[in-house]
Amino acid sequence: MTATSLPPNSAPRVRVRADRLVLYTVLVALTGLFIGPFGWLILSGLKTPAELAASPVHWLPTDFQWQNFADAFNLIDFLGYARNSLIIALIYAVLVTLSSAWVGFGFARLEAPGKKTLFGVLIGSMVLPQMITLLPTYLIFAKLGMVDTYWPWVFWGLAAAPYLVFLFRQFFAGLPRELEEAAIVDGCGYGMIFWRIFLPQSWPVLSASFVIAFTWSWGDYIAPQLLLSTDKLTLAVAVMTTYVTSAGTPVANLQAAASVMYVVPILLIFLIAQRGFVAGMSTTGLK
């Protein structure tokens, strides 16, 4: 071997290192792309109104305005709006997770005429924009006297969600058939099979579905704005509508500071449930 020659196995190692370097570079770039808007939101919450309106853009605040967060918290009933959001999100997330699990179990383990067609219709409903069904839904709830109450979120939760039904259906379809056959031999009905055997094993999908449903409800702006009065408004609506001047102009720096505090609960929930969330999203495609 000459001084300039490489060991026999060095070329593959160099190639692997180069591939890893490219992969890490792409991952860092994507991480910055996704984290960048949230970082800009934090910086906007630490600026003065003049700095936000300045041209050219002031990337960093001259003096960090930490008082903006205190003002955003104290100028409105922040905790009250957050409580309303939490109540609605918990009601919807718990009910829609359980109802979607039940429907997904039926599609995965039960046989009935037209099941595949019905499942196709269910999946097809995922492409319908919310705005198409919002007005008819509002008219129905208005006729039933449920406007300005939390009952709409109860019924939405009981009605299941097509995407979550799909997740549960994929997970339950991958469980061994012997589980339910043994339970049927022991005298269990399908209701008991679902509650005692299948549902306890589906904790990854339960975790993922709960996080997804909670995020949907917590971040919803249109439905609370349309259905609820000022006393029952959610934090999402309050952040966008209450930080204004006497002339009706939005106070952007306070909105940004309030938005940061508004996002924090979702981040905490994801950090707590991230293992189950990732496991649920990765196992629903395995059969």
pLDDT in tens, 51-80: 888 888 878 888 889 999 999 999 999 999
Distance linking the first and last C-alpha atoms of the chain = 52
Q: Return the pLDDT at 276.
A: 62
Query: In the chain, where does DSSP find H-type helix?
Result: 10-45, 49-53, 67-74, 78-109, 115-124, 130-143, 151-158, 162-173, 177-185, 190-193, 199-201, 203-219, 222-227, 235-241, 252-283
Q: Return the pLDDT at 57.
A: 81
Q: Return the pLDDT at 35.
A: 87
For 233, phi then psi, to 5°, come to -60, 150
- At 141-165, the pLDDT tens digits run 999 999 999 999 999 999 999 999 9
Residue with tokens 């589980």: 179
Q: Which residues of the chain have pLDDT under 70?
A: 1-11, 275-287
Q: Return the pLDDT at 287.
A: 46
Cα(243)–Cα(258) distance, rounded to whole angstroms? Answer: 9
Asked if 189 and 244 touch (Cβ cutoff 8 Å), the reply is no
Q: Return the pLDDT at 249.
A: 83
Q: Supply the Cα-derived Rg of the chain in whole angstroms.
A: 25
Q: Which residues pair with 244 in a beta bridge?
A: 250
HEC assignment per residue over 237-254? HHHHHCCECCCCCECHHH
pTM listed for this prediction = 0.83
